Amino acid sequence: MWEVRFHPAAESELKALSVPERRAFFHAVEKLMALGAALSYPHQSSVRGTKGLRELRPRAGRSPWRGLYGQVQNVFVMAAIAPEAEVERRGFDRAAGNALDRLAEFAEREV
> In whole angstroms, how large is the CA radius of gyration of the chain?
13
In a domain, 111, yes or no: no
Q: Tell me if 43 is assigned to some domain.
A: yes
Q: Which residues pair with 67 in a beta bridge?
A: 56, 81
**Any domain includes 49:** yes
For residue 79, which of 64, 65, 61, 98 has the smallest C-alpha distance?
98
Which residue range(s) make up the domain with 29? 3-106
The string over 21-37, giving b where at least 16 C-beta atoms fall within 10 Å of a residue's C-beta and e elsewhere, is bbebbeebbebbeeeee
C-alpha to C-alpha distances, 26 to 7, 38, 66, 89, nearest whole angstrom: 15, 18, 12, 23
Q: Does 80 fall in a domain? A: yes
User: How sure is the predictor about 111, in pLDDT bands with cuts at 50, 70 and 90?
Assistant: low
Residue 86's CATH number: 3.30.2310.20
Q: How many domains are there within the chain? A: 1
Q: Calculate the dihedral angle through the C-alpha atoms of 35, 37, 40, 46, rounding to the nearest 10 degrees.
A: 150
Query: Does 64 reside within a domain?
Result: yes
Query: What Å distances lie between residue 3 and 12, 76, 83, 96, CA to CA?
Result: 20, 6, 24, 21
Asked if residue 11 is part of any domain, the answer here is: yes
**Percentage of the chain lying above the pLDDT 70 cut:** 99
pLDDT above 90: percentage of residues in the chain:
92
Q: Read off the pLDDT of residues 65-98 as tens digits, 9 standing for 90 and up.
A: 999 999 999 999 999 999 999 999 999 999 999 9
